[in-house]
Chain A
Amino acid sequence: MLVLGIETSCDETSAALVADGKEILSNVIATQLDLHRKYGGVVPEIAARRHAELIGYVVKEALDAGGKALSDVEAIAVTARQGLIGSLLVGVAAAKSLSYALHLPLIGVHHIEAHIFANLLSNPQIPVPHVCLTVSGGHTLLVYVRDYCQYELLGGTLDDAAGEAFDKIAKFLGLGFPGGPVIDRLATNGNREAFRFPRPMLKANNLDFSFSGLKTAIINTFKQSIARGEELPLEDIAASFQEAVVEVLVAKTVRAARRKQASTISVTGGVSANRRLREVFTEACRREGIQVFFPPLSLCTDNAAMIAAAGYARMQKGWRDDLNLDVIPSIPLEVQDGRGN
């Protein structure tokens, strides 16, 4: 079954063709990063305007790149839950129009659920159940994937998402937006032990995260350096900050796997592209005898292939939406629509 996926939940306009939930025929992603860079973050109105300009072209490009015609498409999947409302509305309006005009089934997908499928697209051998960490600019979530489309929330961030912490620190240090790639790069030459930044909630007996206090600690360190007239050790700050985030993410995910007696971990979302995160995860999981999976870099950030894959899985369960499909900016994955639990 050929599914056309559409994703417009944040600042990437994306459309993809995926066959049978696993074979990616095309995955077109129009990023808006350049438009948002000067604001140091995603501006919702700018994002929504750009989605409306690009959506038609991106869908057409996905068809052309996949070598398919609209008449070959058998279902439309779209991100309808979790994201910026103005952005989500554009994708959902497009998907409903396609579904109506072409008489095709419509499936609304939760953005986080789709990230879980990003990993499965490239690693079809990932077993269920497993523990999945979704970590991006908007989310830091630990989910127990009991089965596909059946989730149990284990923990999440109480304030900033991990990727958001990277963005805010990068903005504070004048490194630009987005923060993840630039801090990853700078940290390569930095000393991870130069500063002992706090490991927020590492010792707490739960699976939640908090990153806003870490941000404050870094800003204070930075200001103290300036006050002492020291040269700013940007690379060391980047490396030490990254180490603190990575350590907490890995430790809590491994703890979650132990608690659930899961022998597999998957890591998804934009921050899963971070090289140090992958390195520490790989080492920790080797020690624990846990298998760990990461998506390829092209599927870490937001993309429509993962939406199509998640939509296909939902269809396999016999779930469909109709033209009344709602857009919900914020809703927990495990209660998203009363199904799947």
Chain B
Amino acid sequence: MAAMAVVALVTASVAIPERAPVQHDIRPAAGWKTRALSEYDAGVARTPGDTPVYVFEGEQPGGTVFVAGGTHGNELAGYMAATLLVEHARVTRGRLIVVPHANNSAVSYVETTWRGPTSFAIKTASGVRTFRFGTRLTNPAHQGEPDPPKYRHPASTEALDGKEARNLDRAYPGKQGGNLTERIAYAITGLIRREQVGVAFDFHEAGVHSRLAMMIVANPKNIDLGAAAVLALEGQDLSMKLEPSSPGFRGLSHREWGDHTPARALLFETPSPAFEAKTAGDLVNDAVWPLARRVGVHLATMMAVVDAYNGEPGVRPVILTDVPDVKALSRSGMGPFLR
């Protein structure tokens, strides 16, 4: 009888440098509680990938809405919309969970090719406040391993440029003990699952002239929520396009959150002048697409989807209040709505 050898397969964790995460000037309104992403996976604890998780639980029980901003650290309307929610919104029924800087490592540096500002200021009643502007990808010094020559998501047949290994929106559902980007993705997917999120949003930006600008991308299982939002937003003079997640382009939030958790998953794209070389000088006060208007588009689209979600049979509704509308934001800027 041949002896059986038992081979223990040990998957080595990527060594991530211990370093304090970037701190942000976010001032939660009354009623918000602060947690940390590392509560959902210890793999991001004591790393630059840890990031605050804000939770508002309404007095009445209901479902849970999740918002991620800052998946890409240079898509400022996304993380400023998330920040505004934490500083101004309230919940009367259900829960709202917000991660303003989903990839906190991505705001720790800027690309060497970037010639624009690395921060921007907004005047508020409490004074001028400053916010960071980062880049699209995890800081290479935090990743724990060098970029591969080509990056291929485990479920994808498509090979991307190697640096896309540091793109949080190509890493979902993530990997426990993986590189920092995979760990962040794993923790966020775990949060959505553990908190029984009903509908999850990922706020992004694209170039002003990109086909992605003013687009809702929805997991196919919940495309009708996006369709209902398109119709509702028309009443606010907002024209959004709608696309389903691609079946072969993997690792994106709307695709993997929707496929790996029970949550409905949607991603929004607003047009950012920061991607246009000629207008990158002022990140806030663009003549056509000022930051406040783009933030308003994100919030209006989120509210339209939540409204449609609440109308679905059998769901546990979520009632959000004190979310500024796009007209008020366009008229007054973000200042009056930040603390």
A and B: real partners?
Answer: no
Write the residues of chain B forming the contact surface with A, with a CB cutoff of 8 angstroms: none
